[in-house]
């Protein structure tokens, strides 16, 4: 594609990516907030990992940084598409080129790639020389909410957006396949920040619990600032010995709460109001 034609399309690509990310963020974070913090607030308190509720100032801060993140995603995405339009990368546009089987495999490979990319970049951003500039904003939410999912400093937002050009460089992928991955990514990320444990008590003792992460895993990371660096899967933390020592005990505690906790939590719920 000629440079002049590419330049004319850049604003459209930018606003399209911004709109797409904003829609997915508002959809999933909004639904998690509506159900967990409004409709089923008292009923689900028994499974709230940190039983306290965040204040309004925290949520407005998270929402503001998330809006900035969406803009950064748009910029990184638009620049990436410029390179794709110039023939770089492996994005293709006809499913028949690689077949339906590869279409599905490419989604799975992108999820695996993203998990590895997230673990190592996340762990790197905890280095003392990088933390202040990249990751400190996200960790201001010690008791995260669904709105904290995209609450990044601009530099971290750029790192997070890097999965798009990296995937296109390494994996032949159809735009729709990457879009499906994007819905998976935001849904999982919101779940990890919403603050409620959804898995049953036996989960960590199963082989699935040794592979997939839980909301408790990520909430502990926000509370203690170290350990539990993974996103979708737990195998990097297990291999590298970075699971937080309190992970299994805290998961057991949260998933063992009974009806009496729900009643007591409901009383506490009336005292600590978000609004």
CA R_g for the chain? 20
Identify the DSSP state of 229: -
pLDDT the model gives residue 197: 96
What count of Cα atoms within 13 Å lies in the side-chain half-sphere of residue 241? 0
pLDDT the model gives residue 258: 65
User: Which structural domain, as residue segments, surrounds residue 248?
Assistant: 3-271
pLDDT the model gives residue 228: 97
157, burial (CB in 10 Å: exposed 0-12, middle 13-18, buried 19+): buried
pLDDT digits (tens, 9 = 90+) for 71-93: 999 999 999 999 999 889 999 99
pLDDT the model gives residue 8: 85
Is a pLDDT exceeding 60 seen at residue 175?
Answer: yes
Q: Are 74 and 18 in contact (CB under 8 A)?
A: yes
Q: Report CA torsion sign: 121, 122, 125, 128.
A: negative
Task: Say which range, 3-12, 14-23, 155-164, 252-261, has the weakest mean pLDDT.
Answer: 252-261
Q: Give the three-state DSSP class for 196.
A: strand
pLDDT the model gives residue 261: 43
Straight-line distance from the first to the last Cα atom of the chain, in angstroms, rounded to the nearest whole number: 52
Q: How confident is the model at residue 219 (pLDDT cuts 50, 70, 90)?
A: very high
Hey, what are 55's tokens?
């204040």
Tell me the H-state helices in 126-274: 128-134, 154-161, 163-170, 175-194, 207-211, 215-224, 235-240, 247-255, 259-271
The percentage of the chain sitting over the pLDDT mark of 70, rounded to a whole number, equals 93
Contacts of 73 (CB under 8 A, 6+ apart): 17, 18, 21, 157, 160, 161
pLDDT digits (tens, 9 = 90+) for 186-207: 999 999 999 999 999 999 999 9
Q: Compute the mean pLDDT over every residue in the chain, rounded to the nearest whole number.
A: 91
Please give the average per-residue pLDDT across 131-145, as a whole number: 96
Q: Are 70 and 150 in contact (CB under 8 A)?
A: yes
pLDDT digits (tens, 9 = 90+) for 64-74: 999 999 999 99
Separation of CA 221 from chain center: 13
What is the total count of domains within the chain? 1
What pairs with residue 212 in β-bridges? 233
Question: What's the length of the chain?
Answer: 275
pLDDT the model gives residue 262: 40
**Cα separation, 271 vs 268, whole angstroms:** 5
**Cα separation, 155 vs 132, whole angstroms:** 10
In order of 29, 91, 146, the CA distances from 186 in angstroms are: 9, 21, 10
pLDDT digits (tens, 9 = 90+) for 32-69: 999 999 999 999 999 999 999 999 999 999 999 999 99
What count of Cα atoms within 13 Å lies in the side-chain half-sphere of residue 28? 22
Please give the average per-residue pLDDT across 149-168, as a whole number: 97
71, burial (CB in 10 Å: exposed 0-12, middle 13-18, buried 19+): middle
Q: How confident is the model at residue 273 (pLDDT cuts 50, 70, 90)?
A: very low
pLDDT digits (tens, 9 = 90+) for 232-246: 999 999 999 999 999
């Amino acid at each position: 594609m000629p440079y002049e034609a590419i330049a004319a399309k850049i604003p459209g690509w930018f606003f399209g990516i911004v709109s797409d990310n904003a829609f997915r963020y508002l959809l999933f974070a909004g639904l998690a907030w509506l159900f967990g913090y409004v409709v089923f607030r008292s009923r689900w308190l028994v499974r709230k990992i940190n039983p306290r509720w965040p204040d309004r100032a925290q949520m407005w801060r998270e929402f503001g940084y998330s809006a900035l993140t969406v803009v950064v995603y748009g910029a990184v995405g638009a620049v990436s598409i410029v390179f794709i339009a110039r023939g770089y990368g492996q994005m293709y546009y006809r499913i028949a080129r690689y077949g339906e089987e590869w279409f599905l495999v490419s989604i799975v490979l992108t999820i695996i790639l993203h998990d590895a990319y997230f673990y190592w970049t996340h762990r790197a951003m905890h280095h003392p020389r990088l933390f202040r500039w990249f990751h400190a904003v996200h960790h201001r939410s010690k008791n995260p909410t669904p709105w904290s999912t995209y609450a990044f400093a601009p530099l971290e937002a750029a790192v997070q957006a890097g999965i798009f050009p990296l995937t296109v460089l390494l994996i032949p992928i159809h735009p729709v396949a990457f879009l499906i991955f994007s819905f998976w990514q935001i849904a999982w990320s919101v779940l990890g920040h919403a603050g409620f444990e959804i898995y049953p008590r036996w989960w960590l003792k199963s082989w699935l619990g040794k592979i997939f992460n839980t909301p408790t895993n990520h909430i502990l990371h926000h509370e203690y600032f170290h350990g539990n660096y993974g996103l979708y899967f737990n195998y990097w933390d297990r291999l590298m010995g970075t699971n937080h020592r309190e992970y299994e005990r805290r998961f057991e505690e949260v998933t063992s709460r009974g009806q009496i906790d729900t009643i007591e939590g409901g009383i506490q719920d009336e005292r600590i109001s978000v609004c």
